[in-house]
Amino acid sequence: MEKPANRSFRLRGTRMTHGQEIGYAKYWGEFGLPSDVKLNPQEIFPNSNLVVMEIGTGMGEATAEIARTFPDTGFIGVELHLPGLGSLLNRIVEYELKNLRLIREDARVLLEENFADESFDAFHLFFPDPWPKVRHWKRRIVQDDFVKLIYKKLKPGGYIHVATDWEPYAEWITKKFLDSNLFSGGEIERPSYRPLTKFEGQGIKKGHKVTDLKFVKN
């Protein structure tokens, strides 16, 4: 699969702090996964009953907390931002997590090329870039082809949990998933397992409404 013509993410500054540089240099070899080979979640986590992929781990605050809350579930975090990966690797070591691995790649390419269909029990997509300007809507990650891709990669009965602090994007996401007839669901209360992160707190202070959405594979 060719790299998507429209990126759904903005590559922020890649300058890492000293601590992030150390984390990436010391721990990527242990917790990072290759992006150029076929991957089997059950082989990565042979002792886990469930495997979840988080698309866009950011700085990794929520990712690490959720993995710590569910030690029997395997988590694969996908992120391109090097400072975020460095921070999350440090959290993995600090929390002594055995159930979290990371991949540096565009999630859409990764899912198409590296994982078989029906590989995952769930997906997490927390605070994807809403691209609020109309001319940038084509860059939003949640598009018709993305919905179909998630459907293919989910096991029967699997789900995707999305959180956003941009109400028009929540409406867009809901319409994309429900109009596909591939999923059922909609808005839910924020699950207790999803921690309130610094990023989310900043949005709330600005008056943004945070919406949690859950769509289950039909």
More confident residue, 141 or 10: 141
In a domain, 195, yes or no: yes
Query: Using 50, 70 and 90 to split pLDDT, how confident is the model at 201?
Result: confident
- The residue behind tokens 């691209």 is 131
- Indicate whether 43 belongs to any domain: no
For Cα atoms 123, 17, 93, give the angle at the middle one, nearest 5 degrees: 50
Domain for residue 23, yes or no? no
Query: What's the pLDDT at 203?
Result: 84
Q: Is the CB of residue 86 less than 8 Å from the CB of residue 24?
A: yes
Q: Give the mean model confidence (pLDDT) for residues 178-203.
A: 94
Active-site residue (options: 129, 165, 179, 212): 129
> Is residue 3 packed enough to be buried (19+ CB in 10 Å), middle (13-18) or exposed (0-12)?
exposed
Q: Is residue 18 situated within a structural domain?
A: no
Q: What is the pLDDT of residues 44-57, one digit of tens each?
A: 999 999 999 999 99
The larger pLDDT score, comparing residue 2 to residue 145, is at: 145
Q: Is 178 buried (19+), middle (13-18) or exposed (0-12) by CB count in 10 A?
A: middle
Count of the separate structural domains present in the chain: 1
- Residues 6 or more apart in contact with residue 175 via CB below 8 angstroms: none
Partners of 162 in beta bridges: 125, 213
Residues facing 214 on adjacent strands:
161, 186
Between CA 42 and CA 46 the distance in angstroms is 5
Q: What is the CATH number of the domain that holds 213?
A: 3.40.50.150
Domain membership of residue 131 (yes or no) is yes
Question: Looking at the domain assignment, is residue 58 inside a domain?
Answer: yes
How much is the mean pLDDT over the chain? 94
Task: Give tens-digit pLDDT for 79-121.
Answer: 999 999 999 999 999 999 999 999 999 999 999 999 999 999 9
Residue 23: alpha-carbon gap to chain centroid: 20
Neighbouring C-beta atoms of residue 149, cutoff 10 Å: 16
Mean pLDDT, to the nearest integer, of 32-59?
97
Q: Is 129 a catalytic residue?
A: yes
Q: What is the pLDDT of residue 2?
A: 54
Residue 3 falls inside a structural domain? no
Task: Give the domain range for residue 201.
Answer: 49-217
The structure tokens 């565009």 sit at 106
Q: How far apart are the C-alpha atoms of 80 and 57, rounded to whole Å?
A: 9
What is the average per-residue pLDDT within 193-197?
A: 92
2 assigned to some structural domain: no
| Range 13-49 burial, b when 16+ CB lie within 10 A, else e | eeebeeebeebbeebbeebebeeeeebebeeebeebe
Mean pLDDT confidence for 18-40: 97
| pLDDT above 90 (res 198) | no
